[in-house]
Structure 1
Amino acid sequence: MTDIVVAQMIGTLGCGYVAGGMMGHSLVTIPILGIAARHPSATGTRQTPGTPIAHLSHQWEETYDRGLYIYPTTAIASSLASCYLAWALRDAPGPTAVNCSWSSIYITAALTTAGLVPWTLLVMWPTNQKLKAHAARDDAAVAEGTKGMVVSEQEKAKRAREDEEVPALVQKWGELNFYRSLFSVAGAVIGFFGVVWMK
């Protein structure tokens, strides 16, 4: 029975950790990155971040990369724990509170938690790629040295358009990331009720 308890802890707490971390990025980190400089603005003008746009995309990339090393791995571990529970409890009678088997409860938890992967690939991918491209846009030039580099007017206009898109892309990413965290919230809720029903 200890293996069941450990798997429940990994599944439920892992989902809660992923959900909390992702929501923290969306509700705290991303809005802070977009804060305008502290100065009075003219009425009707749009606030721009208080950091250069290139740095904003670098800050986003660092936030993204740190989450990339932590959250998918934890979500996979949580999903695997739920799959183990579905297998280990396949012959056990389901909870009386709901009319379904333990296997179906924990398979639902596993699939719900893993749902953040297709969400990332299908919904967030275009935004991710645009922001990554902007963050890496000047890497080669900086490595080679920008002294004496001549930029055409057409290139300057293109870069200005790209720069103008970045704050909105970062904000959009924060919103999509918040929605992505709800997959883990659902997995944690299912896991929590699984623990409660088993008592």
Structure 2
Amino acid sequence: MATSQITLQIARAVGIAGAAWLSGNIAALSLISVPALNTSHAQDSVSLSTITHAWKHTYAKGKSQNPPVAAVVATSFAYLAWASHRLRAGRSMQLYSIAALLTIGIVPYTILTMSSTNNKLLAKSKKASSDAEITRAVSPAEDKETSDLLKKWTFLNGIRSTMPLLGAAAAALAALA
């Protein structure tokens, strides 16, 4: 069965636009959301306990939303790699394969490089939610540790946001080849 041009165009649009959107969605957390939370702490004296609660909800939304989007986008790129192989377009096949791997790569990247930081921040959020913690004064060392964890998370997440963006760029090059 021949691969139709319309199917390839739809897969390209879903893949490239989806990867670019995913990159922006992830980057917004590092460029807007977490810095805004940190500003609330620094300028408005919002406790880091409250900040970790807000971060926890942001994290949960991203965890439920981004991996399925990455899977759909990577599937589009994998289909394009397969179709390129069938059409004997070797360079395009390689670029679409790279795009698929970069996009779905946010999942293992998160597990391998961010889990420790995520788990520490989630533990701080859970600890802060107890009644005893709300009334307990937090030491400057604990505040610094939480602040450092948020900064580390922001940096690691910023790196993660580049993966689907690079995937979109690879797919765009493949589409032009």
| TM superposition score category, shorter chain reference | 0.7 to 0.9
* Structure 1 position 128 matched with structure 2 position 118: yes
* Structure 1 position 66 matched with structure 2 position 61: yes
Compute the displacement of 1:91 (Å): 2.4
* Structure 1 position 57 matched with structure 2 position 52: yes
Residue in structure 2 matched with residue 189 of structure 1 by the alignment? 169
Q: What do residues 129-155 of structure 1 show as CA deviations (whole Å, max 9, x unaligned)?
A: 00000111144x44xxx5xx9x9xxxx
Q: What do residues 34-53 of structure 1 show as CA deviations (whole Å, max 9, x unaligned)?
A: 1156xxxxxxxxx5872111
* Structure 1 position 166 matched with structure 2 position 170: no
The CA distance in 1 between the partners of 2:33 and 2:175, in whole Å, is: 32
Residue in structure 2 matched with residue 24 of structure 1 by the alignment? 28
Q: Is the 8 A contact 1:49 1:167 kept in 2?
A: no
Q: Which runs of 5+ in 1 are unaligned?
A: 38-46, 95-99
The aligned length equals: 171
Q: Is the 8 A contact 2:81 2:97 kept in 1?
A: yes
Residue in structure 1 matched with residue 83 of structure 2 by the alignment? 88
Q: Which has the higher helix share?
A: 2
Residue 8 of structure 2, aligned match among 4, 10, 28 = 4
Compute the displacement of 1:18 (Å): 0.7
State, as a whole percentage, how many aligned pairs show the same letter: 29
The CA distance in 2 between the partners of 1:102 and 1:174, in whole Å, is: 33
The CA distance in 2 between the partners of 1:93 and 1:169, in whole Å, is: 48
Secondary structure at the residue paired with 2:85? coil
Task: Label 1:120 to 1:49 Cα distance change in 2 as closer, same or farther (>3 A).
Answer: farther
Q: Is the 8 A contact 2:95 2:173 kept in 1?
A: no
Q: What do residues 23-82 of structure 1 show as CA deviations (whole Å, max 9, x unaligned)?
A: 111111111111156xxxxxxxxx587211110101111111111122111111111111
Compute the displacement of 1:118 (Å): 1.7
**If you compute each CA radius of gyration, which structure gives the higher value, 1 or 2?**
1
